[in-house]
């Protein structure tokens, strides 16, 4: 539900409406604009009568929103969201690149890669400390030790940390140490985890589930936002199709489709989308041309020896080249 206020409505006129709405247990969001401001609501609005709201003299119109994602949707928040995370801007015309290995393996490895990707222009470093692996026998990450190594790399390079949380057990550690908390494709519909991570109020990178629709991704974002965090970055990382030539199928049209539906930034992961390092560059460039707000790319200094996802990891040299081309495409489409 959205309440459209008459031009020039004063805060004092709005307040009694907000109080009434909050007493009904809904989440209230003020959307301040010139000349018209609005009040957005999320949650169960069924007990709120339009006629009651229309009695307030400052109310011009009341609209019921059909989309179930009220906080993530554009209706309540028509302008693109721009987040300032550790002094770096994400969304709203800015372009952000997150780069690093699939998993943190050693201090030497994460430090060397972090230095390289920073030099090439990455704004954040990625690196899994807790890895969701299909096989229980595969390398599952260094856990909290991996987080410590990421902190060392952050300290030495200044690059903020993006890393995946898999269990609520580590919420406190992530709240303390991680700059953007990643929720992986396999946990996109782990609703308890979504709400709990949201309650930390920290920036979240939410990856699309392997077989999830765009609306399901937006509902997952809604869980995080209803939990408390408003800074959610969406990530298209390829979906399951009948095609086997690539690890997944990159749904590039998700970029403009999501931009139409949501104000949240949308980034592309060409690494997990394709599964092969030589496909990362063309898909990264296509993502830029399609209007993505950023990229997350797996980079490894010795891909042939990587403990996870070596086949899709580009070397620092290839990453450097990709970044050069990304900048050129950005200039053309600006």
Binding positions for ligand PEP, rule: CB under 6 A: 102, 128, 132, 164, 184-186, 207, 237, 269, 272
Nearer to ligand PEP by Cβ, of 91 and 184: the residue is: 184
From the list Mn ion, ligand PEP, none, pick the one residue 275 interacts with, judged by a Cβ distance below 5 to 8 Å according to partner type. none
Smallest distance, ligand PEP to C-beta of residue 267, A: 11
Per-position x/- string for 50-89, each x denoting binding to Mn ion as judged by CB under 5 A, each - no binding: ----------------------------------------
From the list ligand PEP, Mn ion, none, pick the one residue 237 interacts with, judged by a Cβ distance below 5 to 8 Å according to partner type. ligand PEP
Nearer to ligand PEP by Cβ, of 39 and 232: the residue is: 232
Nearest to 225 by CA among 248, 205, 195: 195
From the list ligand PEP, Mn ion, none, pick the one residue 41 interacts with, judged by a Cβ distance below 5 to 8 Å according to partner type. none
229 to each of 97, 137, 221, 233, how far by Cα in Å? 21, 34, 10, 11
CB-CB contact of 43 with 25 (8 Å): yes
Residue in the block written with tokens 């900048």: 327
From the list Mn ion, ligand PEP, none, pick the one residue 314 interacts with, judged by a Cβ distance below 5 to 8 Å according to partner type. none
Footprint (CB under 5 A) of Mn ion, residues 260-299: none
From the list Mn ion, ligand PEP, none, pick the one residue 132 interacts with, judged by a Cβ distance below 5 to 8 Å according to partner type. ligand PEP
Nearer to ligand PEP by Cβ, of 105 and 164: the residue is: 164
What b/e sequence results for 291-306 when a residue is b if at least 16 CB atoms lie within 10 Å of its CB, and e otherwise? Answer: ebbbbbbbbbbebeeb
CB-CB contact of 198 with 206 (8 Å): no
From the list ligand PEP, Mn ion, none, pick the one residue 185 interacts with, judged by a Cβ distance below 5 to 8 Å according to partner type. ligand PEP
Nearer to Mn ion by Cβ, of 237 and 259: the residue is: 237
Query: How many C-beta atoms surround the C-beta of residue 180 within 10 A?
Result: 23
Smallest distance, ligand PEP to C-beta of residue 240, A: 11
CB-CB contact of 166 with 149 (8 Å): no
Residues 6+ positions from 306 with CB-CB distance below 8 Å: 101, 102, 103, 105, 300, 313
Nearer to ligand PEP by Cβ, of 261 and 272: the residue is: 272
Smallest distance, Mn ion to C-beta of residue 160, A: 19
Residue closest to ligand PEP, measured at CB: 184
d(CA 82, CA 103) in angstroms, rounded, equals: 28
From the list ligand PEP, Mn ion, none, pick the one residue 184 interacts with, judged by a Cβ distance below 5 to 8 Å according to partner type. ligand PEP
Footprint (CB under 5 A) of Mn ion, residues 125-184: none
Coil/strand/helix, residue 202? coil
Return the structure tokens found at 266: 């949308």
How many residues at the interface with Mn ion, by CB under 5 A? Answer: 2
**What is the distance of C-alpha 235 from the center of its chain?**
6
Smallest distance, ligand PEP to C-beta of residue 272, A: 4
Nearer to ligand PEP by Cβ, of 77 and 300: the residue is: 300
DSSP 66-102: -SS-TTTBTTT--SPP-EEETTEEESTT--EEEEE-S
Coil/strand/helix, residue 136? coil
309 interacts with Mn ion by CB under 5 A: yes
Nearer to Mn ion by Cβ, of 102 and 284: the residue is: 102
CB-CB contact of 319 with 117 (8 Å): yes
List residues binding Mn ion (CB under 5 A).
102, 309
């Amino acid at each position: 539900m959205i309440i459209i206020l008459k031009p020039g409505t004063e805060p004092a006129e709005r307040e009694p409406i907000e109080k009434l709405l909050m007493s009904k247990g809904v989440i209230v969001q003020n959307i301040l604009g010139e000349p018209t401001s609005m009040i957005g609501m999320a949650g169960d609005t069924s007990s709120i009568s339009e006629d009651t709201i229309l009695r307030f003299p400052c109310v011009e119109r009341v609209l019921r929103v059909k989309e179930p994602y009220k906080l993530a949707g554009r209706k309540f928040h028509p302008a693109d969201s721009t987040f300032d995370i550790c002094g770096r801007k994400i969304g709203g015309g800015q372009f952000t690149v997150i780069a690093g290995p699939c998993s943190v393996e050693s201090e030497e490895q994460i430090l060397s890669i972090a230095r390289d990707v920073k030099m090439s222009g990455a704004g954040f470093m990625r690196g899994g400390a807790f890895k969701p692996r299909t096989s229980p026998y595969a390398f599952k990450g260094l856990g909290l030790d991996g987080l410590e190594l990421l902190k060392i790399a952050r300290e030495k390079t200044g690059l903020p940390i993006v890393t995946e949380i898999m269990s609520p057990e580590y919420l406190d550690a992530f709240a303390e140490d991680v700059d953007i908390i990643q929720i992986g494709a396999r946990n996109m519909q782990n609703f308890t985890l979504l709400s709990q991570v949201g309650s930390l109020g920290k920036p979240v990178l939410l990856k699309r589930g392997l077989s999830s629709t765009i609306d399901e991704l937006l509902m997952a974002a809604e869980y995080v936002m209803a939990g408390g965090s408003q800074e959610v970055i969406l990530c298209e990382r390829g979906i399951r199709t009948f095609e086997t030539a690539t690890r997944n199928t990159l749904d590039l049209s998700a970029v403009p489709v999501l931009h139409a539906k949501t104000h949240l930034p949308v980034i592309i992961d060409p690494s997990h989308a394709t599964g092969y390092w030589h496909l990362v560059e063309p898909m990264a460039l296509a993502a830029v041309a399609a209007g993505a707000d950023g990229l997350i790319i797996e980079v490894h200094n010795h891909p042939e020896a990587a403990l996870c996802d070596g086949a899709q990891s580009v070397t620092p040299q290839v990453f450097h080249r990709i970044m050069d081309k990304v900048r050129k495409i950005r200039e053309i489409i600006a």
